[in-house]
Amino acid sequence: MLKNFIALMIILFAGPVYAIDGSSLLKEVDRNLSPESYESYRKLINIEPDGRKKEFTLFTVKKGTDKVVSLFLAPASEKGRSTLRLGDNMWLYIPNVGKPVRITSLQSVVGGVFNNADILQLDYSAEYNVEKVEEKGNEILLHLKAKTKTVAYDRLKIWADKGKKLPVKIECLTEANMLIKTLYFKEVKEFGGGIVRPAVVETDSPLYKGYKSVMIFAKLKKRDFKDEVFTLTFMPNIESLR
């Protein structure tokens, strides 16, 4: 009788025995990175192997899971350009050309290591399914697989801080697990309104040896927008949202 009781206690209190729900965790990571609808300012810096830099400043607004638009504020050569993403559709508007043209997620409107999918980032949970979850000390490793072929990277490996539920490092891979680029999330800071996230995202790529690109976030805040803002016709008017 006593043996049975001890065995029952061991089973009940041995643990903790639980499985991490990868999908819920990914959604939590998404919400910790940004509210579902927000506005933000970003600086993109492309750094060449000799240390030369080229900088771009962007104003970005996002709504829901599939709508995001960015407006270039600087440098002067790019000012007024805007990029719109509506699900799998992406467009680029150049003021001199005067009309939006379709672009693809793998192209880069700024050159360097960041491509359009990085600049017009949707929620990870909107584009990826969690295939596997691993615990690695203070971090959780999420193995993600793209939901459709139209997503820029077939696979992602996200190393997330177990406590903060924020990404620390993301590897972007092809279907054959070839590394395309690595994103490093740094300098967690408070943006106000309860938003605490990394302010700096660095990236490098074996395809661009010696090159590095950096994205710095500022003035990230929750804001709601009408759906009409995320349309081709509105693209020349993004500046009016600031």
Partner 1 sequence: MTEKLIITWFFVICLMLNAHFVEATEEYSFDVSETEKKSYHIGGYIEFRPAVFSLDKEASLYKLKFYNREEGGTFEEYNAKFQLESSLEKGIAKLFIKTNTDYKENYLGEDQKTTIYEGFLSLKPSSSLSIDIGKKTLRWGKGYAWNPVAFIDRPKDPEDPELGLEGFIVASADYIKSFEGPLKTISFTPVLIPVYEHVNDTFGDINKLNFAGKLYLLLYDTDIDFMILTGGSRTTRYGMDFSRNITPNLEIHGEFAFINNYKKMFINSTGGISETEYNAYSYLAGMRYLTEKDTTYIFEYYRNDTGFTSREMRDYFTFINSAYDAYLSTGSDLQIKKALKITEAGYGRINPMRDYLYLRISQKEPFDILYFTPSITWIYNINDKSSALSPELLYTGITDLELRLKATLLAGQRLSEYGEKQNDSRIEFRARYYF
Query: Where does this chain bind partner 1 (CB under 8 A)?
Result: 41, 43, 45-46, 48, 52, 54-55, 57, 59, 73-77, 79, 86-89, 94-99, 101-102, 104-108, 111-112, 149-150, 152, 186-187, 199-200, 208-209, 211, 214, 216, 218-219, 225-234, 237, 239-242
Q: For the chain, what's the residue count?
A: 242
The residue among 129 and 150 lying less far from partner 1, judged by its C-beta, is 150
Q: Which residues of 44-59 are buried (b: 16+ CB within 10 A; e: fewer)?
A: bbbbeeeeeeeebbbb
The residue among 4 and 233 lying less far from partner 1, judged by its C-beta, is 233
Provide the minimum distance between the beta carbon of 190 and partner 1 in the complex, in angstroms, as a whole number.
12
Which single residue is written with the structure tokens 């360097």? 112
Per-residue HEC secondary structure of 77-106 comes to CCCCCEEEEECCEEEEECCCCCCEEECCCC
Neighbours of 88 (CB within 10 A): 14
Q: How many helices and strands (H and E) does the chain possess?
A: 4, 13
The residue among 20 and 229 lying less far from partner 1, judged by its C-beta, is 229
The residue among 69 and 142 lying less far from partner 1, judged by its C-beta, is 69
Backbone angles phi, psi at 106, to 5 degrees: -85, -15
The residue among 130 and 152 lying less far from partner 1, judged by its C-beta, is 152
Provide the minimum distance between the beta carbon of 7 and partner 1 in the complex, in angstroms, as a whole number.
54
CA-based nearest residue to 136, from 107, 168, 170, 159? 159
Provide the minimum distance between the beta carbon of 230 and partner 1 in the complex, in angstroms, as a whole number.
7
Provide the minimum distance between the beta carbon of 104 and partner 1 in the complex, in angstroms, as a whole number.
5
DSSP 13-52: HS-------HHHHHHHHHHHH--SSEEEEEEEEEE-TTS-
The residue among 59 and 133 lying less far from partner 1, judged by its C-beta, is 59
User: In one letter, which amino acid is 38?
Assistant: Y
Provide the minimum distance between the beta carbon of 226 and partner 1 in the complex, in angstroms, as a whole number.
5
Provide the minimum distance between the beta carbon of 170 and partner 1 in the complex, in angstroms, as a whole number.
19
